[in-house]
Copies of this chain bind each other. A is one copy, B any other.
């Protein structure tokens, strides 16, 4: 009643040393092309989403400020941050396993920690496990230029088996 499955190596720091970031499975521009073709409703002009950096095991993405994200009191809506966390995790998975279109979120759990003010959001996703069937990661969301977390998510992605393809 506890878990495990065979997995690919993650170049991820876990002891406080500077993280060694491995080569992503596809280039930045290959990833953008894939997203524009496969997810045109998400990754499109006007969405405000952009990919800042990718590496094997993680990604940093940005959500530019948009007025329709705002809630009373000038804070950014919860669903905006949930969608951003999901996107960051998806980009991290693709950066680690390549352009596998049928990869799907199975679970996302998010804690809203502080009210973000009206500014761009940065989300950094790191995979904690990259197995053959499941990828599990965490996502830290901050205001651009900020230090404190505004939200933190964990998420699990299901990876289609090669036999299924």
Question: Which residues of A come within 8 Å of B, CB atoms?
Answer: 1-5, 7, 10, 14-16, 18-19, 38-39, 41-42, 68-73, 75-79, 81-83, 86-87, 90, 101-116, 128-129, 133-134, 136, 138, 140, 142, 147-149, 151-152, 154, 156, 158, 161, 163
- What separation, in Å, do the CA atoms of A75 and B58 have in the docked complex? 26
Decide: A113 near B129, CB < 8 A? Known: A1-B79, A39-B71. Answer: yes
Q: Which residue of B lies closest to A16 (CB)?
A: B18
| Number of copies of this chain that the complex holds | 4
**Across-interface contacts of A105 in B (CB, < 8 A):** 1-3, 78, 112
Q: Report the minimum CB–CB distance from A52 to chain B (whole Å).
A: 15
